[in-house]
């Protein structure tokens, strides 16, 4: 074990927060089932993310909608947790919060103290995002939309996504590949910028 936490700073896999960090913020990564929340936090987190995934059983077949994601074999029972040091003095704690109806109780706790939410959207399943938007709005969370396009070939224009989701003009919409660290960081930074302008 490293006995000198500050020496390793924020290298991937480092379990210590740099001693220079003075600000910590809680950010929620939200979205419907199989939109890429676990993937997103996994690609960004500098610590091994805490995952509470379980193998899906026959019993969950009628509960979790597998249309279009037939190769998915796990489902998040509660949440994902990861950490990302964004600058010399700012660390983000990422909480992946499931959008399924049965986790609504969890939202109340998760929303407390959260700076805002990055709302992952699969443009091929836009209607599944409506209940998630209802939740972020109900809990008064500022949010940005990250379209995780799954490289399907179909181009979903920003204007279409905005109109379908009935977004306010100043709600940021960014495109990302949840598997890619840089792309995910870009989406998260769009949210943080939005939160900073709101706080100013």
Ligand X SMILES: Nc1nc2c(ncn2[C@@H]2O[C@H](COP(=O)(O)OP(=O)(O)O)[C@@H](O)[C@H]2O)c(=O)[nH]1
Q: Is 17 helix (H, G, I), strand (E, B) or coil?
A: coil
Nearer to Mg ion, 53 or 163 (CB): 53
* Residue of 32, 31, 74 whose CA lies nearest to 53: 74
| Under rule CB under 6 A, residue 125 binds ligand X | no
| Under rule CB under 5 A, residue 129 binds Mg ion | no
138 binds, among ligand X, Mg ion, none (CB under 5 to 8 A by kind): none
Contact (CB, 8 A) for 33 and 122: no
Of 17, 27, 28, 39, the residue at the interface with ligand X (CB under 6 A) is 39
| Under rule CB under 5 A, residue 38 binds Mg ion | yes
- State the burial class of residue 197 (Cβ atoms within 10 Å of its Cβ: 0-12, 13-18, 19+): exposed
- Least separation, in Å, of the C-beta of 195 and ligand X? 22
Backbone conformation region of residue 31, classed left if phi is above 0, alpha if psi is from -120 to 50, else beta: left
Residues 139-198 that bind ligand X (CB under 6 A): 148, 150-151, 177-179
Interaction site with ligand X (CB under 6 A): 31, 33-39, 69, 71-72, 76, 148, 150-151, 177-179
């Amino acid at each position: 074990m490293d006995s000198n936490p500050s020496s390793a700073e924020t290298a991937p896999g480092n379990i210590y927060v740099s001693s220079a960090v003075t600000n910590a913020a809680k950010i929620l990564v939200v979205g419907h089932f199989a939109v890429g929340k676990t993937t997103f936090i996994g690609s960004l987190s500098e610590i091994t993310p805490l995952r509470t995934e379980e193998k899906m059983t026959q019993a969950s077949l009628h509960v979790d909608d597998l249309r279009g994601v037939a190769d998915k074999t796990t489902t998040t029972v509660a949440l994902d947790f990861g950490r990302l040091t964004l600058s010399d003095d700012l660390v983000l704690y990422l909480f992946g919060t499931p959008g399924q109806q049965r986790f609504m109780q969890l939202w109340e706790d998760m929303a407390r103290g959260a700076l805002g939410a990055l709302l992952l959207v699969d443009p091929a399943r836009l209607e599944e995002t409506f209940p998630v938007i209802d939740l972020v709005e109900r809990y008064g969370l500022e949010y940005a939309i990250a379209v995780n396009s799954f490289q399907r070939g179909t181009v979903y224009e920003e204007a279409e996504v905005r109109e379908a989701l009935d977004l306010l003009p100043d709600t940021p919409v960014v495109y990302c590949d949840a598997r890619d660290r840089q792309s995910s960081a870009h989406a998260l930074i769009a949210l943080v910028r939005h939160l900073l302008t709101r706080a100013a």
